[in-house]
Amino acid sequence: MNNLAFASIKELKTKILNKELHTEELLSFFIDRFKKYDPILNSALEIFDKDSILNTFTNTSNGLLYGIPGLIKDNICQKGRNLTCASKILENYQATYDATAITNLKNQGALLIGRANMDEFAMGSSTETSHYKKTANPWNTRCVPGGSSGGSAAAVAAGLVPWALGSETGGSVRQPASLCGIVGLKPTYGLISRYGLVAYASSLDQIGIFTRNIYDNALVLSAIAGTDKNDSSTLNVQNQDYTKQLTGKLKENFTLGIIDNALEANGIEDEVYTLLNEAIKTFEKLGAKIKRIKLPMMDYSAAAYFVISRAEAASNLAKFDGVRYGYRSKNAETLNDMYINTREEGFGFEVKSRILLGNYVLSAGHADEFYRSAKVVQGLIRSEFLKAFEEVDLLFSPVSPTTAFEFGKYNDNLLLMDLQDYFTCSVNLAGIPSLGVPCGLTKDQMPVGFQLIGPDLSEHNIYQAAYAYEKETQKDDSENKFVPTNFK
């Protein structure tokens, strides 16, 4: 049975449909994996009991994810389940409805096994800001898994589930995917409904997908993408099969643009740089035409992202005040004291610091100087990307300049922690899709990944190119190298 831990969704579905494996048997297997390994990883805030999972199971054998368990980041509403965003202020709060993505998953027969740990309100790049626990990286448990969707990434990488949902505001799917050696999608803004995703920065947030291979990622996207009347920001896109162009070959006359000012940026570790260049050579071997380009506005993306995300966070988190949701301070004599003390006691340091900065950049006399200026830069970044796509099909960039770092490394340098989003946040500002893909291990057996970036709604093309790369690099790999030794 242990070979099921790192089996693909496709393989597991085949076993279920051929009656070699029962859905309840598979569910029990993964629940037992969590019981055995999650005390080491702390990837989940809660694993639901088996009966309650099966009570929400849509027993339809033609569902895309029929009988396949997955883990959900704890900022996505699951009706009747706790929804904490890894924050004290939402401790014991229960969601009153399902997010649209959750409804779609249930309709496709998925088994939702639990709630993934995360940085508090998705604010962080290491899953160290969670109020409840710190998640470890399966490749080295002294290191972080990345963030803010670190729990989802760690669980998939360790074979505790074959897929998981996360969310992205500035890189919170692609960065932990890269640090954990798995695949992570940030889709086109509006492709997956945000209804039921607790907002951090509404103009940037998107639900994202973690899997261990490209096909599975495309399959999960096929299950949850599409327009939604409950979310006016969703695009008018009908349900599609994102696996249909996975041929193992690049499309004809494929041109890959290498973002030189990203690949040659200061701070990229030597082994990371080497593996990224080996990936580029693989695309050349597959027949890609390589074009080197520069995107100067990318260098302003981190500053624009900091301002926009914090301004929108201050606005979105104003509703958590002790009146309607979760935690309420008992140390208050007046209503105003209750508001102040609840937020002081209920939010962690990172969340409070971002709210304070957000309120400052939105304040009278500063909104034009900061927030509106950042929105102008956001528009210029998007324009620069779209212009680049007139010359190339997709863009290639690092995800992270380093492999996973040890816990506490940036405690005394919070700016360097914020800059973990340096290579990723421009994509969120532009609203375009990007896929994080693993490309090798360092000598210390730590994963490295790159990202493929495309224009709006180019997920088909991104998956096609990534799948061709995956097939080429794994064809001689009899044993999947992206399996952490201690979790086999």
Please report, for the chain, the start and end positions of each structural domain, with discontinuous segments joined by +: 9-258+264-295+382-487
pLDDT number for residue 324? 86
Reference 78, options 97, 64, 61; nearest CA is 97
pLDDT number for residue 302? 95
Reference 164, options 182, 189, 181, 188; nearest CA is 182
pLDDT number for residue 478? 57
Residue count (the chain)? 488
Q: How far apart are CA 4 and CA 27, in angstroms?
A: 11
Give Cα separations from 135 to 41, 86, 180, 286 (angstroms): 5, 12, 12, 37
pLDDT number for residue 84? 98
CB 361, CB 379: distance < 8 Å? no
Helix (H, G, I), strand (E, B) or coil at 418: helix
Query: What's the helix, strand, coil split of the chain in %, to 5?
Result: 40, 15, 45
Owner of token pair 């493929």: 452
List 73, 186, 193, 222, catalytic entry: 73
pLDDT number for residue 1? 56
Residue 148 is among the residues annotated as catalytic for this protein:
yes
For 119-149, b where at least 16 C-beta lie within 10 A, e where not — what string? bbbbbbbbbbbbbbbbbbbbbbbebbbbbbb
CB 357, CB 201: distance < 8 Å? no
Residue 229 is among the residues annotated as catalytic for this protein:
no
pLDDT number for residue 32? 98
Q: Global pTM?
A: 0.97
DSSP 388: H
CB 347, CB 356: distance < 8 Å? no
For 78-90, b where at least 16 C-beta lie within 10 A, e where not — what string? bbebbbbbbbbbb
Helix (H, G, I), strand (E, B) or coil at 439: strand
List 172, 178, 193, 400, catalytic entry: 172
List 126, 148, 152, 309, catalytic entry: 148
Give Cα separations from 125 to 36, 87, 156, 426 (angstroms): 26, 16, 18, 16
Q: Dihedrals φ, ψ of 311, to 5°? A: -65, -45
Sign of CA dihedral 11, 12, 13, 18: positive
Amino acid at position 239, single letter: N
Owner of token pair 């999608």: 185
CB 128, CB 407: distance < 8 Å? yes
Q: How far apart are CA 174 and CA 154, in angstroms?
A: 13
Residue 400 is among the residues annotated as catalytic for this protein:
no
Helix (H, G, I), strand (E, B) or coil at 24: helix
Q: Enter the tokens of residue 273.
A: 């740089």
pLDDT along the chain (488 residues), means of 10: 87 96 97 98 98 92 96 98 98 96 98 98 97 98 98 98 98 98 98 98 98 98 98 94 97 97 94 98 98 96 96 96 91 94 97 96 88 96 98 98 96 84 97 98 98 98 98 78 89
CATH of domain 9-258+264-295+382-487: 3.90.1300.10
Reference 216, options 480, 395, 427, 454; nearest CA is 480
